[in-house]
Structure 1
């Protein structure tokens, strides 16, 4: 199995000016308590019932003491309640940031106008101009072709590219491997069985200390405002990450489950079909996940075989 290196820096929730916003009226203790009571009541009868709950950073609400062995179930319980709470859920960890916890007093988040501008900026951008893997510009010469055709799965496919004139752009070589592999049912099945683990929840990183962060928005694109991810270090990057989240949700029903600082984990309701769909998504995932070690063609083989995506980008 390919090693997953845990986050190496503390999480960073953006700091924001003291302005009221959204469902919690900052500065109004009664309103804050009422909102927490409403959320707590919504959690009754779920896996999250009875867990500590209180204000988190930047207008969020935190539910603490999430069972690390039931992370996906905890997130699913909160996701089902978005129509009631108006808050998108996101699993976060305090393993690498001991300041991430329930606060004695609520902290302000963005104003409605600022959050609206954030979402509009994301909708107006093309995130794939930024999230593009550096290997897309590589050329493969004769001494490298075998390496890229073998990938990490351990299935030697060098014969599938033996007729290519070298050097050749790496995307062209990998697409040739992928297309010809699709026509070879036996070897395709061997590769799929070797790489499908990356599209299963059992491959996800599992921290020790986990909290459920309820974001003060129900909008997918806007939710990126609060996502701590190494690959989105500035607000401009988070605009683009928000557009990625919106595109993936619309096309693949891919929902962000967890952010561990250098990792993102997604539940996927409509996995891409083999062929052009899987190839496109594999390229997008590689662009966002600089440390996802599988070759693009291997990832394209894996994607139709699972309902979980894993993104890894670290220093």
Structure 2
């Protein structure tokens, strides 16, 4: 029987392999193999990956066990799990690294890094910022109201405010962009496993995994994930290297709150084709987020 690890000053129990297998009985994960991996991480293999609904069902089963296991679950692609690595325990070094990362997540301002350059002078025709990518063009109404010296954020916000002022227009924008905040937009791997991190904190479970858009900036990514979790109850579900997928359990409110959320999501997602004002409408109505930053 593997020994449970202890985490942090409050002496929380993080269950080991055999205890996890016992905890999964009677759930959608019952009978799946549990493997010890690096730095006290466990891997549950054989997750049903036929569609995103099955993947989400597996993740939710693991999440429901979080109060018992002490381990935040993250879906990962099988190809990213190297079983040739020698399993290693959750030891004092790993714990110290997580404590340091948690401290950084509570003190670092991540947005100068992620939002660098997102509010400069327009680099393309102004109509690009108002033309819409999902069926609604507000150029004719918005551009005449914008100063010639306006930066990109000011132009985009003018478009958002114009849309919000008209409920029918808001509904039309949402109709075109709603898929961006739905699981149908999520990536689906050929095969997946559940990574059970040796921590109940989502920002500590995901930040060290090596998201392409934050390589060398684990602290900034941890700070983002912590802020999202506390402000909007954003829960990391899946990590695919260049992509991350989340459930959102407290939707941003239309207006400044949704505008902030959309800007932050896009700061991590240069490879999502949507304008900020379109996404701001969508995040106020959707219950999932998708982040994508590829080479």
Structure 1 and Structure 2 fold alike (TM over 0.5): yes
Q: Is the 8 A contact 1:228 1:260 kept in 2?
A: no
Matched, 1:45 2:29: no
Residues 1:78 and 2:59 aligned together: no
Confirm or deny: 8 A CA contact 1:133 1:290 kept in the other structure. Answer: no
Runs of 4+ in 1 over 4 A off after TM superposition: 101-105
Tell me, in whole angstroms, the C-alpha distance in 2 between the residues paired with 1:175 and 1:254.
Answer: 24
Secondary structure of residue in 2 paired with 1:65 = strand
Contact 1:150–1:158, Cα closer than 8 Å, also in 2: yes
Partner residue in 2 for 1:134 = 117
Give the equivalent residue in structure 2 for 1:11: none
Instruction: Report how many residues are paired.
Output: 281
**Given the two structures, how large is their TM-score scaled by the length of structure 1?**
0.83
Segment drifting more, 116-125 vs 85-94: 116-125
Residues 4 and 16, structure 2, Cα contact 8 Å, conserved in 1: no
Aligned partners of 1:267 and 1:309 also within 8 Å: yes
Task: Give the Cα separation in 1 of the matches to 2:83 and 2:29.
Answer: 16
Q: Does 1:242 align with 2:222?
A: yes
Return the match for 1:232 from 206, 214, 219. 214
CA contact (8 A) 2:105 2:226 kept: no
Structure 1 stretches lacking a partner, 5+ long: 1-20, 26-31
Measured in 1, the distance between the counterparts of 2:292 and 2:121 equals 21
Q: CA deviation at 1:128?
A: 1.1
Q: Map residues 84-233 of structure 1 onto 2, 5 A cutoff.
A: 84-95=68-79, 97=80, 100-102=81-83, 106-109=87-90, 110-132=93-115, 134-139=117-122, 144-161=125-142, 162-233=144-215
Instruction: Report SS of the residue matched to 1:255.
Output: strand
Q: TM-score when scaled to structure 2?
A: 0.89
User: Shift of residue 281 of structure 1?
Assistant: 0.5
Using the TM superposition, give the Cα deviation of residue 165 of structure 1 relative to its aligned residue in structure 2, in angstroms: 2.9
- Identify if the C-alpha distance between structure 1 residues 225 and 164 changes in structure 2 by more than 3 Å, giving closer, same or farther: closer
Note the aligned Cα RMSD (angstroms).
2.2
Gaps of 5+ in 2: 8-13
